[in-house]
Structures are given as structure tokens and as C-alpha cells.
Amino acid sequence: MAVSTTSSTVMNNVEAVRATLYEAMKNDDRTIILGEDVGARGNVFLITKDFINEFGPQRVIDTPIAEASIVGIAVGMAMEGLRPIAEIQFADFIYPAFNQIVGEAAKTRYRSNGEYTCPLVIRTPYGGGVRGALSHSVSIEALFYHVPGLKIVAPAFPADVKGLLNAAIDDPDPVLFLEHKKTYRLIKGEVPDGHYTIPLGKASVLKEGTQLTVVSYGLYVHWALEAAQSLANEGMSIEVIDLRSIRPMDKGTILTSVEKTRKLLIVHEDNKFGGIGAEISAMVAEEALFHLDAPIRRHCAPDVPAMGYAEPLEHEYMSSPAKMAGAMRDLVKF
Amino acid sequence: MATTITMPQLGETVTEGTVAQWLKKVGDTVEKYEPFVEVSTDKVNAEVPSPVTGTIREVLVKEGETVATGAAIAVIDEVGAAPEAPPAAVAPAAAPAAAAAAPPSSNGHAAKTQAISAAAPATGGGTPDEALRAASPAVRRLAREHQIDVRAIIGTGANGRVTAEDVLTAAQMGPAAAVGQAIAVGTNFGATGAPASGTSTYGEPIPGTIVPLNQARRIIAQRMVESKHTAPHAWSMVEVDVTNLWKWRTREKDRFERETGYKLTLMPFFIRAVVESLAAFPLMNAKFTAEGIYVNKDVNIGIAIGLATNLVVPVVKHADQLSIKGLAIAGGELIEKARKGKLGVDDLAGGTFTVNNNGANGSYASAPIINAGQAGIVTMEAVVKKPVVLENDAIAVRSMMNCCLSLDHRVVDGYVASGFLADLKKRLEKMGPDGVL
Amino acid sequence: MAKTDTKTQTFARAGLTDEQLRQMLRNMLMQRQLDNRGFQLNRQGKVPFALGSEGHEALQAGAAMAFHRGKDILAPYYRDLGLALGIGLTPYEIMLSIFARADDHNGGRQFPNHYSSKAAGLMSFSSILAAHIPHAVGAAYAIQYRGEKGRAVLVTCGDGTTSEGEWHESMNFAAIHRLPLVMLVENNEWAISTPLDKQMAQPEIWKRAAGYGMPGVRFDGFDPIATYATVSEALDRARSGGGPTLVEGVCYRYLAHSTDDNDMTYRTKEEVAEHRKKDPVPRFEAVLIEQGVTSVDEIAAMKKDVLRETNEATDKAEAVPYPTPSELYTHLYEGAWQPWL
């Protein structure tokens, strides 16, 4: 990661998205932002507030409520030389655009043998813990990470948000950029000033340890880190890895860590069955079986569609630092 | 009944709010659902309705002050006639790091958390054969690489499971420890947490308790029994005048340490003498087998090393081919490896005879247990200044050191063993400051 | 052999020269010939799949004539063989895709008839109906955003596709932003086995245009000159900033949907035969002969030349090797293939 200056600014995740989008709009005329309520309203989290005043309605497009064509039109823009950033207002609304993402954007380069490409970014807030109930809380990465031709990132820290969003914008292929909405204002951090990118496909070791590897991303990596730090008081040494990038995923960092600690716990907010953890488990079992001193475990959401609106339902669905600590402790002591 | 009002969460992802204006002051009455304070966040401004009917008892936050979602902002004394109040928290979503105002319904899942941590996995433990079957891939691989039988290892994992750490520690143990007296203290082989009640640790044994066996003690026990029950042990001793040897060593030690980085003890001199005596008495460097007494071609001297957490006997291979200096360096390397827990299988295998510097513990005489597969083990005891009658009947103060030998009486008898000891004594007494390392 | 325009006072030729009229006829003949060649190869067992466009010749030749090569963008669907030829793809390129050879624009990855050519301005598309229409809208937006006057997007589809949600979303958006786009619906009355009256209550698709706030017009899709006139007017409007138009050309699908379809399971020979009477190819031949633009001999020679060209293209394409197995792994992302496991 090349950082042009040594100074930095403290900001939260939503500010990091905003600042990065602003610079992209300023620096490249080909950048177009389109989505519902992104113009006059400036996005429902105020991410693009006042952008339309500075960059004009041709570059900040308030679309009709039509997710399939938000993405489809963006695909056409990308094929014809623009650099569109399409927004799906909540990840829960992305399903009508499924074909455009999976069947069209992901396949443009492949089906045309490289004659046409699709440099597209699709941004969307996902995740729960905000009393968002069944349709404002889901995680969607498992639906899309399966698809060759797509890229998916889910940064958890503001510095990563900026670096990865810049990388996504520069990427010549379609990138699904997932922003955990609970971390928007909750997570603050130092963000280096100036333009920089973080390469896709590189995880980040947040905390080193020797007895257990914990792999996570999004809101849950913050809770996992908290849990691991609290378990240090019980004498446990736990390594916490922030995936940051789901496709491509950093196999090397995961394997190096598991070879050291011999135990792996995958923690994610999405459902357990068929979630990201299933693929990581299979990979580690296939490539590092004889380093494992315990079964690979996954601490994930139960097999129900989403979290309910009533508080006890949300709490039951979601994990917590204490629940995660329990899972970590069990595996360390195995 | 006093009800504490907390800062509500106005909008998804909002984590704090500002009290814009108090619509009531202390002492005012308020009806349920009546707005009593105006709160603003960076997304919305809103009037907050009271959850109860009552009187404002306390206002905790000033106008213009910003607090985290869920923080207490006021206390209202409820009037009895009101229907049962809803929970004090006005729908805050607890921020993960915030300790304030956890919703009362968390009891249920807190209990579940405890249940999760208390639940032990049903794995490992049981009989040694079960331990083998339950061995993880890492355990199997490490056991294979270090040529250790998993069934011989005591597990320190959940339910007595043999862990990968247990295998690695057992590998450091190597072949049998030679010495029978108090050895390693403070055994701490990767177990976490305090011992269960009624037990204590090897490092801090408490009268009236049991020190549970870890695999180190179990291996030692096993091997000592095997050796003593197989080889009929006999014992002999000589007293050696090491005055000149001591002078020689004293003269060399500083330069040696400067040049090599290793300490120069009496051990390499001793081993040099031992290998020469073994050459003269090859049956001491032999092994009893059903087919006969196998006289070893190589002379690989094991050095017993007692560490804080371990007892190991690494082997100096082809010790007969090394000078005193070479022996000192080889020994020094092995000791350093042992201290760092980095001895490999090669370092611990292939010994044909063992020496033990028991004098370092202050012992005057000892009867060591032979390393299984060898014919004898010889010790250096403490060097003690004593009045001694010399050849010419004069009395002088000399540095005297006992050497004790345990021997396998199937292989050698007193004639050979005593001859060996006498030869060893002669060689040691001949070593002096005019020698070459 | 060209006759002057002054001879054709009563003949509505929409300003087309004799040469252009002959060019349109040749396009129609070439379309039918190549179309047929696909089926021949299928029946020979050389290609597993063929999809025909008989009945669309006039519509596509006329529309192609209205297209400005090097400026306009075409976003077609898989029945647009004549349009692909008409905007500049060669029979050889068409045959490469039928044979799925390595030198095909798509490297043999797509079904035949999934034309693509960056050079000709033909946007790559998939088999998913209506998915390409938002792409056409996005491309039109790009043209407008960059202020490129004199350029427009011609996007086509069949009657069946107009039922898809993305067709509706695209029309709506194009109209809101007055994009330089012409939506050409080739209404051949059949969506595989679904007749028009099962697809829509309002059988005149052009009437939907008013609902979106754009002009709409219907024309005889069997008449290449009427097609040309309508499409070029719409394209001119788009190119000069006048916004989008919905144009509907009515023709007929003489063949089954593809070699995987048996159309006798849902319509009668008699119905097809009845529509054959209006076959646009012999009809346009007759018109041009009658108007003295060409002659029987000239047409015979044209057909012979079309066959020759078809044969050459067929042989040349068949001789090109298939893509190698290692080609499966290229062009997934920019750069080399990097699988996870």
C-alpha cells in the first residue's frame, strides 16, 4: 500500500466512503454515481450529500425504483467507457438485480473473450444490529461469492474502506463493495490522507496469537477482536484475521496462521449453512489437514432467513463479544 | 418507583445523541407519551415521549450535551396509578463496546453463553487406544515425525485429549532420563489454569494432595521401571584426585569462553577420559540382546541434562573422535538446544553410554539408573577439597571427586566394571595444566 | 445497370438510391442463405444448434441501412443475423460463431447468433432476454453524457422480450433522460410457442410508448423501405438530441424458434403457409424488378454470388481450429486465471 503522505484524519466508516467517492468524482470525469435517493437526498446515510450540487445531475443520478436496471444500465455505461458506481440502497433490495450482476456483469469479459469489459462498482450497505428486521439486515456475500467473474470486498475499518473502495473503482472488473451499516458511525479510525489503494485479496492480521486462529470480517471482526483481547486476561493467545476481501480471498494468510496455531474458528454474521465459512473450512481441510489439532468450527447465524425486529429476536440471531469469546475459549481448550 | 430514561437511538447506525432542549424541568409532572425532551442526532431531530406518568426527579444531561445511545439522561418518579411501565430503556440498541444499559432480556442469552463455555467436547481421553483413535491429524503427523507412540502420551487437552503440544513436549523428553533423584521442578507442560482442588503441581507440591501425572512424569516412570526390571543393576565407585585437572580447567576457561561463547566445565574433560576408557574396556560400550552382547562400534555419549521443566539426555555422536574442545562445543550446543526446547529426534537417539554430572546438584555419591539399551552409566559427583594422604604419606589438601558407575550385570561383572573405573581414574588424574584441549 | 432515380416517381423509396436498394436486397438474400446454411450444417451433424431468422429479412435490411457505421451502436438479440451483416459483420465472422472456432469474436464460448464486435459497434449480449436492454440504455447515457452528437443506440428485441421487467425499466429510464436510443421491436408474433394474445392484452406494442412519454410508431416489417424510413427517422431524432423512440415492425417467424423447437406442436402448417405468401424476400425482388432497379438475371447472379460467398465463408471458418482446452481459463478477469483451490 503506497501512501502519499504521512498525515491522516480520524473518521468513521461512512465518512470514509463519502470522502473516497468524492475524490473519485473529482479526479475522473468518467465516474458516475447512480441509485435511489443518491442525488437530492444525498443517500439515506448522507454519503453523497451535496454531490449533486457540485457534480451535477448527469453524474449523480436519482434513478427510479428499479434495481435490475440500476445495475443493468450501469453495466451498459461500463461497457461503453464510463466508470459507474451503482448503489443498491440496502443489500436486502439487491435480488431483482441478481441476473445483471451474476449473469451479465460477471460474464461480460468472459463471454466476449475479452472484447468487452465491465469496470463496475456496486455499493450496498448490509448487516444487522440496527433493529433493521428482516429486510434491512441481511448479509448477501454468500449468494455472490460463488460466481467467477465477480469480486467482493467487505472492509471493517475506515482506512480499509478508503483503500479498498479506491481499488474497486480502479478495478477493470465488476466489484461488489459491501459496507456494514452498523459500522458506519460506530467504527472510527485513522485514515491516511491522499490517494491510496489496498489490493483486493489481502487479509489483515489484527492481532497475533499462537493458540487459535479466528477469521472474520465486517462488524463481527470488531467483536471478535474484543473477545480475543478479553481472553488474553485468561492467558489465551488468539490470532484474529480480518478477511477484508471475500473474492478474491487471502488463502496464504489463513493457511500461515492455521499452520502456526493448529486451530481455526470462522466467525461471520451470515448464516452458517453455505456461508463463507464453509468454503474456508473446505480449503483448510484440503490444504492443511495435518496441521489441524481440532475440528474447524464456524460461529455463524442460525438457519433462519434474518433477524427479527423484536429485540430478543435480533439478539438471538446475532452474536456478541461474549458469545464469540465462549466459542473461542472452547476451541482453545479443545 | 424511579424510572431511568436513557438516550434513544434515533435512526439506524446512530450511536449518540444531543439533548437539544428540556421540555420539562425537575419537579414538573409528565404524562405517559407526553414529550419531555427534544433530542437531535446528525440524521434527525425528535421529541422524546415519556414512557411513564410521573414527576421529573432528576435531569442528568445538560442542554447541548452529547451522550452515547443508551446513556441515562433523566429519572422520573412514577405515579402509582400508571399501568405497568415498559422497561426503562427506551429502545436503545446496546453498542457492542458500551457497558451501559444492557437490556434486561440479556439474562437468557448470558446463561447460554455460560452453558456454551461450560460444555466440554466429548473427545480424546479414556484408554490409550481411544487416545490413538481420537488423535487429530496434527497429533498423528507429529507423532509420526518424532517416532512417538501416541498411546504413551498423557493428554492435557479437554477430557484428557492428547494435543499437538503434548506430542512436541514428549519429543523433547527423548529416551529415558538416567537419574533417580529429584530432577525437574515446576513441570508446566502447556496446561492452562490452576489445578483442580485436591491436587498440586510438581513444581509446588502441597502435602495431602495429589500431583497429577503429566506425560513427562509418566514417561520417566515407565522408563525407569523398564530399565530397573530388565537390567540387574550393580554399583561401584572410585575417588578421583582432580586437583590438576581443576587447575587446567581454571587456566583455560576464560579464553575458551571468549573464543567459543560456551562455558568450559569439567564435563568435556570427563567425557574425553570416559571415551578413552571405553576404548580400553569395550564391553562397557555394549548392549545386552537375546542374540548376545552387541559391542557398539560407535561411541555416542549421552549427557543427562536436568532443566526446569524437562529432563533430557541429548547425545554427542562419535564422541571418541572429538577433542576436549570439540566435546565442550558439542556439549554446549546440545545444552543450549535443550534449554530452548529445540532438541530434535536425531539429538536424542543413538546413545551407547551415558554420563551424568550429578555433582552440580551437590551430590557426593549416587546410584543412577541405566539408560535402557546401554551397559552402564557413570557420574561425576561434587568436587570437594579434602585432606588426603599422598604416595609419600604426606597429608595434603586436594580436590577430590567421586565417580559412580551403575552397570548392567548381564553384560559386565565387577572385573570389567572396576577395571573401567580404575582406568578412568588414572586418566583423569593424569590430566593437568600442560594438556591440550 | 443502375437506373436513375427520376424513373421512380410513384415508387416510395425514402430517398434511397438504386445502389442502396440493391444493397438491401443482397443483405436479405445473404441473411436467408446464411440462415439456411446453419440448418444444413446442423442436419449434416456438423453443428449442434441452429437458430433461424426467416421472415425478418426486410426488417433487418432496412434497419441496417439506417444505421450509421462507425458512429451508431447496435445492441441486438440473437435473431438479428441480417442486422449484424447489415452493419458490417462478414459471413466469415458469422460462420466462425456457428462453428464455435477459436477466431470467433467470442472465442467459441457463446451459442451461435450471439454476435459481438467492438469494431463494428455491436454490443456483446447473453442469451437472457431483455438483459441487454438496460445495457443499451447505459451506452446511450454514455453517449449523451459525453455530448457526442450524431450518435445513437439502436436496440432490438422480439415481441416476447417486451414482457420482461427490464424492458419496461429501460424504456422508462430512456424516456426520463431523453436518451439517444431507438427501441426496435421485431414483432414476429411468436415467443417460442406463445402467441401474441397470450403475451399481452394490448397487441400493438408501439402504443406503450405514450405510457413512457416517448413517441411510438408501427410499420410493416415486411417492407424494407418502410422499415428504413421509420428507423432512420427515429435514429435521426435520437442523434440530434430529440430523445428515444419505440418503433415496432410487424413481421413473422416462418421457422420454429430453433433446432430445439418443433413448431407444429403449437401452430399449423396452414397458418405458416398463409404468412409465407407475404414472404418479404421474393416480394422485394419483385418490387425492385418492377421498378427497374434490378433484373431477373441480375438477381440470379446476385444469388449465385451470395452462395459463393457463403460457401467460401463456410469452408474458411470450418478450417479454423476449435479453441484449445486451455482457453477455458482466459479472460475471466484482467490478468491470469487464479483459482482459489
Per residue in B123-181, pLDDT tens? 444 566 777 778 999 999 999 998 888 887 878 888 888 999 989 888 877 643 322 22
> How far off is chain C from A33, nearest CA to CA, in Å?
13
Measured CA to CA, the distance from residue B431 to residue B434 in angstroms comes to 8
User: Where in the sequence is the domain holding A38, given as residue range(s)?
Assistant: 8-192
Same domain? For A37 and A176 the reply is: yes
Q: Are A76 and C134 a contacting pair at CB < 8 A?
A: yes
Chain C's closest residue to A64, CA to CA, is C173
Instruction: Decide which of C116 and B1 is more confident.
Output: C116
Which residues in B lie closer than 8 A to residue A184 (C-beta atoms)?
Answer: 13
Same domain? For A222 and A167 the reply is: no
| Ranges under pLDDT 70 in chain C | 1-10
3 state DSSP class of B407: strand
At CB < 8 Å, which residues of chain B contact A?
9, 12-15, 42-43, 91, 93, 95-97, 103, 105-106, 108-110, 112-114, 116-117, 119-121, 123, 136-141, 157-158, 161, 163-164, 192-193
B183 closest CA partner among B300, B43, B25, B358: B358
Whether residue A104 is contained in a domain is answered as yes
Whether residue C51 is contained in a domain is answered as yes
Chain C's closest residue to A286, CA to CA, is C341
CATH code: domain B128-222 is: 4.10.320.10
Q: Are B13 and A130 a contacting pair at CB < 8 A?
A: yes
Same domain? For A17 and A100 the reply is: yes
User: Where in the sequence is the domain holding C293, given as residue range(s)?
Assistant: 20-258+270-318
Measured CA to CA, the distance from residue A215 to residue A298 in angstroms comes to 9
Sheet order of strands, B45-49 included = B45-49, B35-40, B16-22, B66-68
What Å distances lie between residue B212 and B176, B203, B328, B351, C121, CA to CA?
20, 12, 37, 30, 81
Q: Are A286 and C334 a contacting pair at CB < 8 A?
A: no
For testing contact with chain A, the best of B42, B123, B136, B141 (most A CBs within 10 A): B136
Q: How many CB atoms lie within 10 A of CB A6?
A: 8
User: What is B224-430's CATH superfamily?
Assistant: Chloramphenicol acetyltransferase-like domain (3.30.559.10)
Whether residue C334 is contained in a domain is answered as no
Mean of per-residue pLDDT scores for chain B: 81
CATH 2.40.50.100-classified regions of chain B? 2-118
Question: What is the structure's pLDDT at B342?
Answer: 74
Whether residue C13 is contained in a domain is answered as no
Same domain? For A109 and A155 the reply is: yes
Which residues in A lie closer than 8 A to residue C338 (C-beta atoms)?
Answer: 248
B153 closest CA partner among B173, B137, B138: B173
CATH number at residue A177: 3.40.50.970
Contact partners of A by the rule of 3+ C-beta pairs under 8 A?
B, C
Measured CA to CA, the distance from residue C124 to residue C117 in angstroms comes to 7
> How far off is chain A from C277, nearest CA to CA, in Å?
39
The number of residues in chain A equals 334
> How far off is chain A from C212, nearest CA to CA, in Å?
13
Structural domain total, chain C: 1
Which residues in A lie closer than 8 A to residue B119 (C-beta atoms)?
Answer: 330
Whether residue C297 is contained in a domain is answered as yes
CATH 3.30.559.10-classified regions of chain B? 224-430
Query: What band does B105 get if pLDDT is binned at 50, 70 and 90?
Result: very low
Nearest 10 degrees: Cα torsion A153, A156, A158, A161: 0
Last residue of a domain, one of A172, A192, A212: A192
Q: Are C334 and A109 a contacting pair at CB < 8 A?
A: yes
| Ranges under pLDDT 70 in chain A | 1-5
Same domain? For A66 and A179 the reply is: yes
Chain A's closest residue to C107, CA to CA, is A113
Q: How many CB atoms lie within 10 A of CB B427?
A: 20
Measured CA to CA, the distance from residue B428 to residue B435 in angstroms comes to 12
B189 pLDDT higher than 70:
no
For testing contact with chain B, the best of A12, A293, A320 (most B CBs within 10 A): A293
Q: Are A75 and C134 a contacting pair at CB < 8 A?
A: yes
Q: Does C330 touch chain A (CB under 8 A)?
A: yes
- pLDDT tens-digit map of B247-268: 999 999 999 999 999 989 999 9
Last residue of a domain, one of A192, A222, A245: A192
Whether residue A1 is contained in a domain is answered as no
Q: Are C330 and A114 a contacting pair at CB < 8 A?
A: yes
Same domain? For A319 and A178 the reply is: no
Same domain? For A187 and A208 the reply is: no
Question: Chains A, B: CB contacts under 8 A, how many?
Answer: 100
This prediction's pTM: 0.73
Which residues in C lie closer than 8 A to residue A80 (C-beta atoms)?
Answer: 73, 138-139, 142-143
Same domain? For A13 and A143 the reply is: yes
CATH number at residue A241: 3.40.50.920
CATH class of the B2-118 domain in this structure: mainly beta
> How far off is chain B from A325, nearest CA to CA, in Å?
9
B187 pLDDT higher than 60:
no
Nearest to A103 among C128, C140, C333 (CB): C128
Query: Which of the residues C266, C276, C329, C331 is marked catalytic?
Result: C266
Instruction: Please state whether at least 3 CB pairs lie below 8 Å between chains B and A.
Output: yes
Last residue of a domain, one of A165, A192, A219: A192
**Rounded average pLDDT over B77-81:** 74
Nearest to B95 among A14, A186, A314 (CB): A186
Whether residue C213 is contained in a domain is answered as yes
Q: Does A64 touch chain C (CB under 8 A)?
A: yes
Nearest to B137 among A292, A321, A327 (CB): A292
Instruction: Concatenate the DSSP letters of all residues of A194-263 into one string.
Output: S-----TT--EEEE--SSEEEEE-THHHHHHHHHHHHHGGGT--EEEEE--EEES--HHHHHHHHHHH--
Q: Does A248 touch chain B (CB under 8 A)?
A: no
ipTM over 0.90: yes
3-state secondary structure chain C: CCCCHHHCCCCCCCCCCHHHHHHHHHHHHHHHHHHHHHHHHHHCCCCCCCCCCCCCHHHHHHHHHHCCCCCCEEECCCCCHHHHHHCCCCHHHHHHHHHCCCCCCCCCCCCCCCCCECCCCECCCCCCCCCHHHHHHHHHHHHHHCCCCCCCEEEEEECHHHHCHHHHHHHHHHHHCCCCEEEEEEECCEECCEEHHHHCCCCCHHHHHHHHCCCEEEEECCCHHHHHHHHHHHHHHHHCCCCCEEEEEECCCCCCCCCCCCHHHCCCHHHHHHHHCCCHHHHHHHHHHHCCCCCHHHHHHHHHHHHHHHHHHHHHHHHCCCCCHHHHHCCCCCCCCCCCC
Q: Is the CB of residue B241 less than 8 Å from the CB of residue B398?
A: yes
Q: Are B109 and A315 a contacting pair at CB < 8 A?
A: yes
Chain C's closest residue to A74, CA to CA, is C138
For testing contact with chain A, the best of C331, C337, C338 (most A CBs within 10 A): C331
Question: What is the structure's pLDDT at B190?
Answer: 36
Measured CA to CA, the distance from residue A133 to residue A312 in angstroms comes to 12
Question: What is the structure's pLDDT at B210?
Answer: 85
Same domain? For A178 and A237 the reply is: no
B97 pLDDT higher than 50:
no
Instruction: Concatenate the DSSP letters of all residues of A24-77 into one string.
Output: HHHH-TTEEEEETT-SSS--TTSTTTTHHHHH-TTTEEE--S-HHHHHHHHHHH
Question: What is the structure's pLDDT at B32?
Answer: 84
- pLDDT tens-digit map of B294-344: 999 999 999 988 766 567 889 999 999 999 999 999 999 998 888 777 777
> How far off is chain A from B13, nearest CA to CA, in Å?
5
3-state secondary structure B96-131: CCCCCCCCCCHHHHHHHHHHHHHCCCCCCCCCHHHH
Q: Which of residues 186-245 of A touch C (CB under 8 A)?
A: none
3 state DSSP class of B310: coil
Instruction: Decide which of C226 and B79 is more confident.
Output: C226
Query: What band does B368 get if pLDDT is binned at 50, 70 and 90?
Result: very high
Same domain? For A79 and A19 the reply is: yes
**A294 residue type, one letter:** A
Which residues in A lie closer than 8 A to residue B97 (C-beta atoms)?
Answer: 226
Q: Is the CB of residue C129 less than 8 Å from the CB of residue C161?
A: yes
**B170 residue type, one letter:** A
> How far off is chain A from B255, nearest CA to CA, in Å?
41
For testing contact with chain A, the best of C141, C178, C330 (most A CBs within 10 A): C141
Q: Which residues of B are catalytic?
A: 409, 413
Q: Which of residues 261-280 of A touch B (CB under 8 A)?
A: 262
Structural domain total, chain A: 2
Question: What is the structure's pLDDT at B213?
Answer: 74
B99 pLDDT higher than 70:
no
Enclosing H/E stretch for A178: strand A175-180
CATH 4.10.320.10-classified regions of chain B? 128-222
Question: Chains A, C: CB contacts under 8 A, how many?
Answer: 146
Same domain? For A219 and A174 the reply is: no
> How far off is chain C from A72, nearest CA to CA, in Å?
5
C1 closest CA partner among C282, C283, C295, C287: C295
Q: How many CA atoms lie within 13 A of C312 on its CB side?
A: 9
Contact partners of B by the rule of 3+ C-beta pairs under 8 A?
A
> How far off is chain A from B270, nearest CA to CA, in Å?
42
> How far off is chain C from A174, nearest CA to CA, in Å?
9
What proportion of chain B, given as a percentage, has pLDDT over 90? 47
**Rounded average pLDDT over B382-399:** 94
Judged by average pLDDT, the poorest of A186-190, B96-100, B393-397 is B96-100
Q: Is the CB of residue A103 less than 8 Å from the CB of residue A75?
A: no
CATH number at residue C145: 3.40.50.970
Instruction: Please state whether at least 3 CB pairs lie below 8 Å between chains C and B.
Output: no
Same domain? For A29 and A171 the reply is: yes
Nearest to A110 among C141, C170, C332 (CB): C332
Which residues in C lie closer than 8 A to residue A283 (C-beta atoms)?
Answer: 340-341
| Partners of A216 in the β-ladder | A242, A267
Q: Is the CB of residue B74 less than 8 Å from the CB of residue B60?
A: yes
Nearest to A312 among B15, B105, B136 (CB): B105
Whether residue C202 is contained in a domain is answered as yes
Q: Does A297 touch chain B (CB under 8 A)?
A: no
- pLDDT tens-digit map of B212-224: 776 667 777 878 8
Which residues in A lie closer than 8 A to residue B161 (C-beta atoms)?
Answer: 334
B118 pLDDT higher than 50:
no
Whether residue C341 is contained in a domain is answered as no
